[in-house]
Chains A and B, each alone.
Chain A
Amino acid sequence: AQKVTQAQTEISVVEKEDVTLDCVYETRDTTYYLFWYKQPPSGELVFLIRRNSFDEQNEISGRYSWNFQKSTSSFNFTITASQVVDSAVYFCALSEVNAGNMLTFGGGTRLMVKP
């Protein structure tokens, strides 16, 4: 069965620091997707990225970057030069194509960025 682990429950940084959120996953499927979502205090889930299991290229989008390594089953998320507006709970998630694409979420990492 699939599982997602976010070992960091809470991280606190000072504005402009870089921060990396860890995500480790387990799956027996060879075809799957990995996701990151942001959940600000307002509660909605904001989609950040989806990667498929065949694409291990790292991705950068502005201050955000993602490092996907199948060898270690990890999909880590780095925020460069963090800002107060980045404060939120971040969820990593996995979906297996053979499981109807339902999402299995990690427990989330609460990021607090202090001015």
Chain B
Amino acid sequence: GAGVSQSPRYKVAKRGQDVALRCDPISGHVSLFWYQQALGQGPEFLTYFQNEAQLDKSGLPSDRFFAERPEGSVSTLKIQRTQQEDSAVYLCASSSQTSRGYFGPGTRLTVT
């Protein structure tokens, strides 16, 4: 595909469950970003990869959040022991060295 894809698009988890959210960036894009968008707010930075290296994870809200990009392409954001406050839309963006970021459609996570 030509754009960034994310799966699943919607995820409902019971409190305490683990979830894994996937991002397929645009082919060849070295940079990959994860953002969290709570209802009624702007997206907030979570973490940043350049190829397989996680260069910044300062935005991850707790040690229950973990992201990886083992081969420098697909990335997975994992949330362990989900809590209600984790309910949000999780956005992924990728970019090349010179381009702007291209956003995926997001994964809407609802924790019940």
B44 within 8 Å of A by Cβ? yes
Given contacts A43-B105, A44-B103, contact A105 B44 (CB under 8 A): yes
Give the nearest-CB partner of B105 in chain A: A44
Assess whether A47 is in contact with B100, with CB atoms less than 8 Å apart.
Answer: yes
Contacts of B95 in A (CB 8 A): 101
Q: Is the CB of A100 within 8 A of B108?
A: no
Query: In this complex, what residue of A is CB-closest to B55?
Result: A100
List residues of A whose CB falls within 8 A of some B CB: 4, 33, 35, 37, 43-45, 47, 50, 91, 93, 100-108
Chain A binder among B20-28, B35-43, B61-69, B78-86: B35-43
Which B residues contact A (CB, under 8 angstroms)? 31, 33, 35, 41-45, 48, 50, 55-56, 89, 91, 93, 95, 100-103, 105-106, 108
Q: Knowing A102-B33, A102-B56, A103-B35, say if A91 contacts B89 (CB, 8 Å).
A: no
Q: Across the two chains, which residue of chain B brings its CB closest to A92?
A: B42
Given contacts A100-B48, A101-B31, A103-B43, 9 further A-B contacts (CB under 8 A): A33-B100, A37-B103, A44-B105, A45-B91, A50-B100, A100-B50, A100-B56, A101-B101, A107-B41
